[in-house]
């Protein structure tokens, strides 16, 4: 599309070099019109001057999703990390009943990830969603989930999309979890609603993941009957252990969901006030034509590298997935810092670009100590130190003295806050951030599901390449949030330079950290389906390793997940995987 900014052009060119054949499938240049203000949880909380304000809030988000779904004439696609809970389920069920009452023959595809240790039960959620639907409904509903692999490179869906009729779209960072967003101490997050052909890209992105189900048809089904066990089917795809599950309603419809076709979209002529948009995604281990399918990685790197004035980032974390056990914080086996992104950001810093970053407080936990965590465990100084270390290695012409000056004048990193002084809610829980936002030079911004820390998941997001829309986003979201931060306190320049100049992070192979990494790597034998772990067997297994580590401490994280799975509604994840949100 003509008229892209230099940020947009750099992004598109990078994806063309990476996977030109995926334009129109996994990435695209399109347009859309933003509807209203950005969707934040908690709504407008940052605008409450120097006070906590009402840290419980309305149910506007599931209501907004309901309003979009019930517009459907032909097609609905919903993708999310895991199944909806609480009022999200209620509103989705009401939306399907509303569509049924219209008599319209709407195709509905609902796709979830399948998190290690928290296997999705699509049959259970379908029972909830169809509770008010008769067997003779004109609706056709498919619900599926999948996971490929069982290592740090594991792939499951992480995109968060509601696309309707190729015309209406809601996407961003929000998961469908009642306790995390609709009750006390809610998670800070942001999504956006749009209208226009950008919605078509959401449908088409989902197509390939649904195609994956069809490609392993013979494993999913026996004698034409959909597998109906509590756990997803276990199989292997290109040598990777894989979990898949699929259900449908009514039973009379085809067992495989159809592919969305662009003919379902509306008039392609741009609307007044529409913004230029780049859609960009990745499929992780799900290859197309036997090649990696992750163009958004290249696009985001190029977006960051194009900065001339400023980079603003809001993320859950920047560091790799960590092992959040009580006695040590170390990277998950195979976990690494996102060097390419840090090189792009660090290169901009060396050019005098302002870099402002907001992250979660470490181990932010909404709704109780045993719920999923929203922070990988790294401090602002950790993030700043690694950024500067990578920048100095990639730009050797910049002296330590010059880098110190740049850090003091251009680098600011802060934890998210509930007000200008507190990193905690009144309950004592740390304030968490789940947004995935990048703003470059105040002319373009990314909003979607993809984190900057490395996780090989299926992701999708948008870059709104429009100065007016970016200014509005800054006004409604970034500026109020940044006003509450305290980067000088959270990330002092001297501490950043000291961290960058040290040998951190390195581990002695005989150290407790290294031995814990080894033990945790072996844990995958048990956490593949953690709900079935036998604690005595696991303890004996670790004892036989002879690593002399705190076996009980490691196993406690699994036991907590088991207890929560039995006693608490909502998503519960193994602590080794809970940060991948």
Q: What is the CATH number of the domain that holds 214?
A: 3.30.870.10
Distance CA 224, CA 498 (A): 63
- Of the candidates 346, 286, 321, 302, the residue with the CA atom closest to the CA atom of residue 520: 321
Encoded tokens for 492? 């002092």
Dist CA 120 CA 230 (whole Å) = 9
Residue 15 neighbours by CB under 8 Å, 6+ apart: 22, 23, 27, 280, 295, 296, 298, 299, 302
Same domain, 495 and 530: no
Does any domain span residue 69?
yes
Q: CA dihedral in degrees (211, 213, 219, 225; nearest 10)?
A: -110
Structure tokens at 357: 């970053």
Supply the pLDDT for residue 46. Answer: 59
What average pLDDT does the segment 453-466 reach?
96
13 to each of 28, 204, 275, 439, how far by Cα in Å? 11, 21, 19, 19
Last residue of one domain, picked from the residues 264, 282, 316: 264
Is 183 found in the same domain as 64? Answer: yes
Is 416 part of any domain?
yes
* Average pLDDT of span 289-313: 96
Mean pLDDT of the chain: 83
Same-domain check for residues 83 and 188: yes
Whether residue 445 is predicted with pLDDT greater than 70 in this model: the reply is yes
Q: Does the N-terminal peptide bond of residue 261 adopt cis geometry, omega within 30 degrees of 0? A: no
Residue 114 in contact with residue 555, Cβ under 8 Å?
Answer: no
User: What is the model's pTM?
Assistant: 0.87
CB 358 within 8 A of CB 313: yes
H helices, E strands: number in the chain: 18, 22
Rounded CA-CA distance 451/441 in Å is 20
Asked whether residue 444 is domain-assigned, the answer is yes
pLDDT digits (tens, 9 = 90+) for 141-197: 999 998 887 766 789 999 999 999 999 999 999 999 998 888 888 889 999 999 999
Q: Would 6 be classed as within a structural domain?
A: no
Taking phi over 0 as left and psi of -120 to 50 as alpha, with beta for the rest, 400 belongs to alpha
pLDDT band at 564 (very low <50, low <70, confident <90, very high): very low
The torsion angles phi and psi of 320, rounded to 5 degrees, stand at -70, 165
Q: What is the predicted pLDDT for the residue at 53?
A: 46
Residue 373 domain flag:
yes
> Where in the sequence is the domain holding 528, given as residue range(s)?
512-567
Tell me what pLDDT residue 49 has: 46
Q: Quick one: which of 474, 487, 305 has its CA closest to 409?
A: 487
Q: Token digits for 70?
A: 């019930």
CA angle (484 as vertex; 478, 487 as ends), nearest 5: 95
- Indicate the residue among 238, 264, 290 that finishes a domain: 264
- End-to-end distance of the chain based on CA atoms, in angstroms? 32
Q: State the total domains in the chain.
A: 3
Co-location of 331 and 380 in the same domain: yes
Residues 401, 521: one domain? no
Between 400-410 and 493-501, two packed helices, what is the crossing angle to 10 degrees? 140
Residues 414 and 436 in one domain: yes
Q: Residue 316 domain-assigned?
A: yes
Kindly state whether residue 575 falls inside one of the protein's structural domains: no
- β-pairing, 310-314 vs 155-156, is unpaired
558 or 81, greater pLDDT:
81
Residue 377: which of 578, 207, 218 has the closest Cα? 578
Nearest Cα residue to 446 out of 580, 330, 315: 315
Contact call for residues 170 and 447 (beta carbons, < 8 A): no
Residues 200 and 306 in one domain: no
> Does residue 225 belong to any structural domain of this protein?
yes
Of 446, 479, 501, which residue sits at a domain end? Answer: 501
Same domain? For 497 and 516 the reply is: no
Residues 428 and 364 in one domain: yes
Same-domain status, 201 and 343: no
Tell whether 434 and 561 lie within a shared domain: no
- Are residues 480 and 559 both part of a single domain? no
């Amino acid at each position: 599309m003509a008229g892209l900014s230099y940020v947009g052009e750099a992004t598109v060119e990078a994806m063309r070099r990476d996977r030109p054949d995926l334009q129109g499938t996994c990435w695209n240049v399109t347009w859309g019109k933003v509807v209203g203000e950005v969707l934040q949880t908690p709504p407008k909380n940052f605008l409450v001057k120097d006070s906590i304000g009402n840290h419980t809030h309305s149910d506007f988000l599931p209501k907004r999703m309901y309003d979009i779904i019930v517009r459907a004439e032909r097609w609905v696609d919903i993708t999310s990390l895991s199944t909806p809970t609480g009022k999200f389920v209620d509103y989705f069920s009401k939306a399907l009943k509303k569509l049924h009452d219209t008599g319209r023959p709407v195709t509905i595809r609902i796709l979830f990830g399948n998190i290690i240790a928290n296997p999705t039960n699509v049959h259970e959620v379908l029972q909830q969603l169809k509770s008010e639907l008769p067997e003779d409904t004109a609706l056709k509903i498919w619900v599926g989930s999948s996971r490929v692999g069982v290592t740090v490179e594991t792939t499951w869906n992480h995109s968060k999309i509601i696309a309707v009729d190729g015309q209406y779209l809601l996407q961003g960072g929000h998961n469908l979890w009642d306790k995390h967003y609709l009750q006390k101490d809610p998670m800070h997050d942001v999504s956006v609603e749009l209208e226009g052909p950008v919605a078509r890209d959401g449908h088409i992105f989902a197509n390939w993941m649904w195609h994956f189900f069809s490609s392993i048809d013979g494993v999913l089904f026996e004698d034409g009957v959909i597998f109906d066990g509590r756990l997803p089917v276990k199989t292997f795809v290109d040598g990777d252990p894989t979990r898949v599950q699929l259900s449908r309603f009514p039973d009379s419809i085809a067992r495989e969901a159809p592919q969305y076709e662009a003919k379902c979209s509306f008039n392609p002529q741009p609307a007044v006030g529409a913004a230029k948009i780049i859609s960009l995604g990745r499929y992780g281990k799900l290859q197309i034509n036997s090649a990696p399918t992750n163009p958004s990685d290249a696009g985001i790197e190029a977006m960051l590298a194009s900065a001339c004035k400023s980079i603003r980032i809001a993320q859950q974390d920047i560091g790799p997935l960590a092992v959040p056990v009580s006695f040590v914080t170390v990277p998950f086996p195979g976990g690494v810092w996102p060097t390419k992104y840090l090189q792009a950001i660090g290169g901009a810093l060396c050019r005098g670009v302002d870099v402002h970053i907001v992250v979660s407080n470490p181990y932010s936990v909404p709704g109780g100590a045993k719920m999923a965590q929203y922070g990988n465990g790294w401090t602002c100084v950790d993030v700043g130190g690694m950024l500067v270390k990578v920048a100095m290695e990639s730009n050797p012409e910049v002296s330590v003295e010059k880098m110190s000056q740049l850090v003091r004048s251009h680098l600011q990193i802060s934890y998210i806050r509930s007000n200008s002084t507190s990193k905690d809610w009144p309950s004592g829980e740390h304030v968490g951030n789940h947004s995935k936002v990048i703003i470059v030079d105040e002319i373009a911004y990314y909003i979607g599901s993809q984190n900057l820390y490395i996780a090989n998941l299926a992701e999708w997001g948008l870059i709104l390449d429009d100065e007016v829309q970016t200014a509005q986003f800054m006004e409604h979201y970034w500026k109020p949030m940044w006003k509450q931060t305290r980067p000088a306190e959270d990330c002092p320049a001297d501490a950043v330079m000291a961290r960058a100049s040290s040998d951190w992070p390195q581990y002695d192979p005989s150290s407790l950290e290294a031995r814990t990494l080894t033990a945790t790597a072996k844990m995958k034998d048990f956490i593949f389906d953690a709900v079935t772990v036998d604690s005595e067997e696991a303890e004996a297994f670790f004892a036989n390793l002879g690593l002399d580590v705190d076996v009980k401490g490691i196993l406690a994280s699994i036991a907590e997940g088991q207890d929560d799975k039995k006693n608490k509604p909502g998503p519960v994840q193994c602590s080794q995987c809970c940060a991948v949100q």
